[in-house]
Chains A and B, each alone.
Chain A
Amino acid sequence: MIELKQLSKKFGDRWALRSLDLTVSHGEIFGLLGHNGAGKSTAIGMMLGQVWPTAGEAIICGHDVAENRPRALHKVGAIFETPVFYDYLSGWRNLEILSQYTAPTAPARMREVLEWVGLTGREMAKVKTYSHGMRTRLALAQALLPNPELLILDEPSDGLDPEGIHEMRETILRLRHELGLTILLSSHLLNEVEQLCTRIAVLNQGVKVFDGTLEQIRQSRLGWVRLNVGDFTAAVADLCAQQLVTDARDGSHVVLAPGVRTDALVRRLVEQGMPLFEIVHEEQTLEGFYLDLMKKKEEPVVPVQG
């Protein structure tokens, strides 16, 4: 559905995005992560033909956006971080206006979409009377009107309260399950991305530093064990000598040698009379993984391909 090839954008002397390669397949919920100014919105802008690439190409639904924007975006819906509408008009009128930029839309279809997003009964009220949550739902309605196959969500939970964030998360899952949409989700809510996405890419200062599945991330710390003992240095020295662990970090974590299980560590430490308070298998969280990536800001990063 989305194929970005060496996509780059320079604003003045500053590279906002550099050589981004990205592929999002049909039916995926793909997360685009990065700090503020990492290049997420610039990448989305180029996917929607709002920002012109300095180099590279964005192919959406099989069409190059720069060459044939109308065809590329025919089956695409989008929501941006702060949903903005013509406040002085009703929700219904807003939907009519926005949908006509794609294709004439039957009132029955509009009612169906309003029902789906839960705005039935409020559609004739002026948008200026809507809460932030209702505006987000209206934004979703306008994105769904042209029967899209691909939905691009640029920080859709921005500004929502916890209930709203939960509701948005449920809605995104419904979108995939009930409507079979492919979704590109740009966010810096790591918890949200972790619960929704199957695959992610992480941008750091305009450069992609990771592209892979959440499973890959979880596996990336497989074998790490948190060890709480009386004397960590002495314990690690002994365990290394016994070839039970291969690495240690942060004064609290060790890496098990291949084929070694935690019970072997427990046995050895007890035999040596070392006090053992806690031993836990550690699974990499997205937050930990992301923060590790961001710490490497100054270091050259080797991209991981999923």
Chain B
Amino acid sequence: MKPLVPTAEMTLGPFFPREFAAGANDLAAGAQGEPIEITGRVVQADGRALDNVVLEIWQADAEGRFDNPAFCGWGRAATNSDGFYLFRTIKPGAVQGRAPHINFLILYSGLMRQLQTVMFFDQSPDPALENLKERSERLVAKKEGANRYRFDIRLRGEGETPFFDD
């Protein structure tokens, strides 16, 4: 059978219900592993911070597993009017062949479809970084205290976050 064509993705628009993101940004509750906070600011080309950007994450558990029934590995946050988001989660372990990482999906008005990027904890080599050269530094979160990481996202313009095409 000829494969079906996927439904065209379209922009999230500006009115994604706030309640859909409420409470979904805490993956750490009851989870085994090192609790961490990830925060960052989402800005557009002219530097303006963006309100109600939806970010979703997908990550392995502390052992690098994606099939742990006790740890869902998925979360969602929406930026506030200052452009900031916050996740509480646990530090993921290394998945086979990969450095520890957290997948980020970004949805917003003005984005005709989802954007995908990845947050890393240090400069460890990773196959996803091979095509990015010096831009790969942009995907390493900045440590801000013992258990807190800062991962800013610039959609477009100087210092733009690298995004992946899949």
- A and B together in one complex: no
Q: Which residues of B contact A (CB under 8 A)?
A: none
